[in-house]
Amino acid sequence: MAAAMLKRTTMLNSMVNRLRSYASVAVGTDLVSGAPNVSLQKARTWDEGVSSKFSTTLLKDIFKDKKVVIFGLPGAFTGVCTAQHVPSYKSNIDKFKAKGVDTVICVAVNDPYVMNGWAEKLQAKDAIEFYGDFDGSFHKSLDLSIDLSGALLGTRSHRWSAYIVDGQVKVLNVEKVPSEFKVSGGDVILGQI
């Protein structure tokens, strides 16, 4: 009986480990080697998606040899994301550039076409690069996904920000609750760089 129980427990642990092949993100995490096959989809129109054969961008191409400020949020066209989160980065874009940041990126668990429409509505596309994480794999790889089914959103991203240098996390801020906007704004991370 004990042998059967041990075998079953070992099998369950093995299954869980296979399903959860992702590592949590923390200061010091190397995103490029930690999630080598994870990619994002640059915001674009449907026609641009078709002409690019629905291309994706690997994390190494986003972060390698660059200084990047990236922020994640629950979703395009949602309240805090639209009214506070994106504007806090857009209004500070010149200050980020003055600190040597190569790129400021906004990412959400949305398709790249929704992200494109939202970026255009916010008139932020020239300042910030927008990426979709259509299947949530990027946020899952970082352990930054959250079930927001209660708000009819399904699995989404926590609200967070990070400063990444050559793929390595130097600063990470994650809100305790996705509706809060206390530690993940542009002003906060600007002071941490």
Indicate which residues carry an active-site annotation: 81
- CB within 8 A of 117, min separation 6: which ones? 76
Which amino acid, 89?
Y
Structure tokens at 174: 């994650």
Q: Using the 8-state DSSP alphabet, how is residue 159 labeled? A: P
Q: In what order do the strands lie in the sheet with 67-73?
A: 57-58, 39-42, 129-132, 103-108, 67-73, 160-165, 168-174
CA dihedral over 109, 39, 106, 116, signed as positive or negative: negative
